[in-house]
Chain A
């Protein structure tokens, strides 16, 4: 069965600093990977997705992620954090054998300090 591990349940950065949120996956087959963002009291919004095309994926709001098969990683980055980026971020995977089942990581709370 596939799984996702997000390293760091809380990440704090200064405004303008690099954002790096870590995600490692486990899957016996090439996975489909996603990053979602959840703002307080809201639903989940898709940031970006990897579906076996380009390994560097660009998403909304200036975020991007790189799929590294050798490291089984799909880390999320943004060059310069904004206050509005403060939210909960979830990495998720769909494996070949899971049908449409999204398996989520435990989430990373991003705090952006002025």
Chain B
């Protein structure tokens, strides 16, 4: 069984469009995250939710909006996509706040 899953795996879209990435975890974890990996493979946290409450909101354009309908799901909606949004987006989850995090397979977003 997949622990942390993301859909879609690949997303190709044009500038100005709005798109969403979905994430689900079946580990029973309380905390979920979104990370962005750029073209140089650098990973940086974007958001974190604990029990559906936003606890980390890094300096991310407000075109990015996370939504957590329940503890097992954390979606990422992006408005007015820009070329610079092209990256791999990873969802992750953890049992608690200061423990290891488990990552999904990633969503490769390409904005043309």
Instruction: Name B's A-contacting residues (CB within 8 A).
Output: 4, 31, 33, 35, 40-45, 48, 50, 55-56, 90, 92, 94, 97-106
Q: Are A100 and B94 in contact (CB under 8 A)?
A: yes
Select the residue from B33, B40, B94, B100 with max chain A CB neighbours within 10 A. B100
Contacts of A102 in B (CB 8 A): 33, 35, 43, 45, 101
Check A100/B98 contact, CB under 8 A, given A43-B105, A45-B103. yes
Which of under 10, 10 to 19, 20 to 34, or 35 or more describes the interface residues of A?
20 to 34
Q: Are A104 and B43 in contact (CB under 8 A)?
A: yes
Q: Are B56 and A99 in contact (CB under 8 A)?
A: yes
Contacts of A32 in B (CB 8 A): 98-99
Question: Can you report 17 residue pairs joining A to B where beta carbons are below 8 Å apart?
Answer: A34-B100, A41-B106, A42-B105, A42-B106, A44-B43, A44-B90, A45-B103, A46-B101, A49-B100, A51-B99, A90-B43, A100-B33, A100-B94, A101-B56, A104-B42, A106-B40, A107-B42
Contacts of B101 in A (CB 8 A): 46, 100, 102
Q: Are A46 and B42 in contact (CB under 8 A)?
A: no
Contacts of A44 in B (CB 8 A): 43, 90, 92, 103
Contacts of A64 in B (CB 8 A): none
Contacts of A42 in B (CB 8 A): 105-106
Q: Are B41 and A88 in contact (CB under 8 A)?
A: yes
Contacts of A101 in B (CB 8 A): 45, 48, 56
